[in-house]
Amino acid sequence: MAQQPSGLGLSELPLGVQIHKDPLTGQNLIQKGDLIFPPRKVWMKTFGCQMNYHDSERILSHLKELNFDQTEELEAADLVLFNTCAVRDLANQKFYSQLGEIKHAKKKKNGLVVGVGGCVAQTEGKELVEKYKHLDFAFGPDTIDMINDMVYRTYAGDHKFTINSWDRSENFSIETKITHGSPQAFVNIIKGCNKYCTYCIVPYTRGKERSRRKDEIVQDVKRLVEYQGIQEVMLLGQNVNSFGQENGETLAELIHDLDQINGLELLRYTTSHPYDVSDELIAIHGTAKKLAPHLHLPVQSGSGTVLQRMHREYTPEHYLGLLEKLRKVAPQIVISTDIIVGFVNETEEEFQDTLKLLDAAQFDFIYSYAYSERKKTRAAKMEDFLTDEIRMERLRYLQAYQLKIQEKIRASMVDQTFRVLIDGHGNMGGVKKYKGRTTCGRLIHFLPPEPEKDYQWHWADLKVTSASALSAQGVLVRDLGRRP
């Protein structure tokens, strides 16, 4: 099919969509079915994990086809969308309070359309639409590719509907859509999760595991690298380690193939489940040249009995054994993790075992959370005697404990030189400083030697002058420009 230039950043128009020019204003008008879509603005708020952020980007990319551009100003919006997270109560509460506030925006602006997507919408969409009068529609994560049909429906006069069906197709096949101009892209390789850890809501919000085919992903990444200037790719999934199981393919094979792509500089993947880390995957950390020397490997707890109650299917010893093997094949590798403290009936001794694991594992950083009971999960049915005070106390203790470990590890960065991709700048005590992340994911700030020069998305070598537990300061040794 011949490419139809649309002037909207869309190389090809979807079926049934036409573009007209408004003779009076000169604006592009998009016709879909019986409706004309003038240029409009969408304001979007995203909660949760990288998959949700990536979904939001995909939604925005679809909405361009209906003439919607993103705005940061709520007052300017014609369409308001929330992409929600259900994993802990805190994210939930933030969303509910913001949804409540939108009521006022809707009163001020006639015709403002409000939609809620994501993991909360999957499980509670119907109730939300019934309860919040100003909410027009709700949609689950498996329906985001239908967003334009939903928006069309609301402009056609249909309101108060919920679409949270599961995608019934056998294959998970999509092309990555990006809207930003950065050289970093997220690429979905597997969706859903079959693990059913007893505390976790994700299998109920994201459904069964379904992998894309390896060759399709390789073609997709090639296209991103060749035509969209992508240099860094993050492979995404709730459990990327079970990638390809239903198709007889593996993550290690996928990494091997992606490693051959000319022009791709860096490859990462997240999130990994320790149970599925194979010897083949460990080995590829020693051989793939483009694979980042960083692995996020959530352990959740250092206690064997807690891990059993969580249904994590490994022991602390097995986990530490994996780290040992990884560090053997890739001595520079940096490991990070997730920890849940205060899981149902966690004893003081079990908590101490987690501290011991922190000592043994020497994580470069951790995300840590107090256990938050989620309806529908198996853990929610367990009788729980632990109080929230104890949970919070243990969380604070654990975080302070880890910071000390981190401080020591990071101190060794001083005087070393790291290759970074410069991804932004900020104001630090009235001074403009650029920042970049090392290939192992550590943040380094530096003073630009030429204050007027734009260093954004340059690769550079930075020599670290001081390092704290969370970030480092450095000096620019070599500016490699936009591509090394």
| Site of interaction with ligand F3S (CB under 6 A) | 48-49, 51-52, 85-87, 118-119, 201-202, 205-206
Q: Does 210 bind ligand SAH (CB under 6 A)?
A: no
Report d(CA 415, CA 236) in Å as an integer. 34
Report d(CA 305, CA 264) in Å as an integer. 43
CA 110 to chain centre: 34
Among 56, 122, 238, 439, binds ligand SAH (CB under 6 A): 238
Binder of residue 196, out of ligand F3S, ligand SAH, ligand SF4, none (CB less than 5 to 8 A by kind): ligand SF4
Report d(CA 337, CA 299) in Å as an integer. 6
Residue 227 belongs to what H/E stretch? helix 214-227
Tokens of 87: 């994993």
What region, left, alpha or beta, does residue 55 occupy, with left being phi > 0 and alpha being psi -120 to 50 degrees?
alpha
Please, are residues 268 and 233 in contact by the beta-carbon 8 Å criterion? yes
Tokens of 178: 């990006």
Binder of residue 51, out of ligand SAH, ligand F3S, ligand SF4, none (CB less than 5 to 8 A by kind): ligand F3S
Among 186, 199, 319, 434, binds ligand SAH (CB under 6 A): 199
Report the residue number, 273 or 285, with the smaller CB distance to ligand SF4: 273
CB 204 → ligand F3S: shortest distance, Å? Answer: 9
CB 164 → ligand F3S: shortest distance, Å? Answer: 13
Alpha helices in 382-462 (DSSP H): 388-411
Instruction: Write the CA distances from 317 to 25, 304, 477, integer angstroms.
Output: 68, 9, 42
**Among candidate residues 275, 231, 234, 230, the one with its CA nearest the CA of residue 255:** 234
Binder of residue 374, out of ligand F3S, ligand SAH, ligand SF4, none (CB less than 5 to 8 A by kind): ligand SAH
Q: Specify the DSSP class assigned to residue 370.
A: E
CB 67 → ligand SF4: shortest distance, Å? Answer: 36
Report the residue number, 159 or 375, with the smaller CB distance to ligand SF4: 375
CB 93 → ligand SF4: shortest distance, Å? Answer: 20
Binder of residue 371, out of ligand F3S, ligand SAH, ligand SF4, none (CB less than 5 to 8 A by kind): ligand SAH
Tokens of 113: 């359309």
Among 202, 235, 322, 334, binds ligand SAH (CB under 6 A): 202
Among 6, 308, 372, 456, binds ligand SAH (CB under 6 A): 372
Please, are residues 199 and 83 in contact by the beta-carbon 8 Å criterion? no
Residues that bind ligand SF4 (CB under 6 A): 193, 195-197, 200, 202-203, 238-239, 273
Interface pattern 268-287 for ligand SAH (x via CB under 6 A): ---x-x--------------
CB 37 → ligand SAH: shortest distance, Å? Answer: 36
CB 108 → ligand F3S: shortest distance, Å? Answer: 30
Q: Which residue type does 396 have?
A: R
CB 51 → ligand F3S: shortest distance, Å? Answer: 5
Binder of residue 270, out of ligand SF4, ligand F3S, ligand SAH, none (CB less than 5 to 8 A by kind): none
* Residues in contact with 448: Cβ distance below 8 Å, sequence separation at least 6, in sequence order: 425, 432, 433, 434, 455, 476
Report d(CA 109, CA 469) in Å as an integer. 46
Q: What are phi and psi of 345, to 5 degrees?
A: 55, 30
Report d(CA 52, CA 61) in Å as an integer. 14
Burial category of 411 from C-beta neighbours within 10 Å (exposed 0-12, middle 13-18, buried 19 and up):
middle
CB 134 → ligand SAH: shortest distance, Å? Answer: 29
Binder of residue 203, out of ligand SF4, ligand F3S, ligand SAH, none (CB less than 5 to 8 A by kind): ligand SF4
Residue 475 belongs to what H/E stretch? strand 471-481
Report the residue number, 361 or 476, with the smaller CB distance to ligand SAH: 361
Q: What are phi and psi of 256, to 5 degrees?
A: -55, -45
Binder of residue 351, out of ligand SAH, ligand F3S, ligand SF4, none (CB less than 5 to 8 A by kind): none
How many Cα atoms occupy the beta-carbon half-sphere of 203 within 13 Å? 14
CB 252 → ligand SF4: shortest distance, Å? Answer: 19
Residues 48-107 that bind ligand SAH (CB under 6 A): 87-88
Binder of residue 48, out of ligand F3S, ligand SAH, ligand SF4, none (CB less than 5 to 8 A by kind): ligand F3S
Residues of this chain that bind ligand SAH (CB under 6 A): 87-88, 199-200, 202, 238-239, 271, 273, 298, 300, 338, 340, 369, 371-372, 374
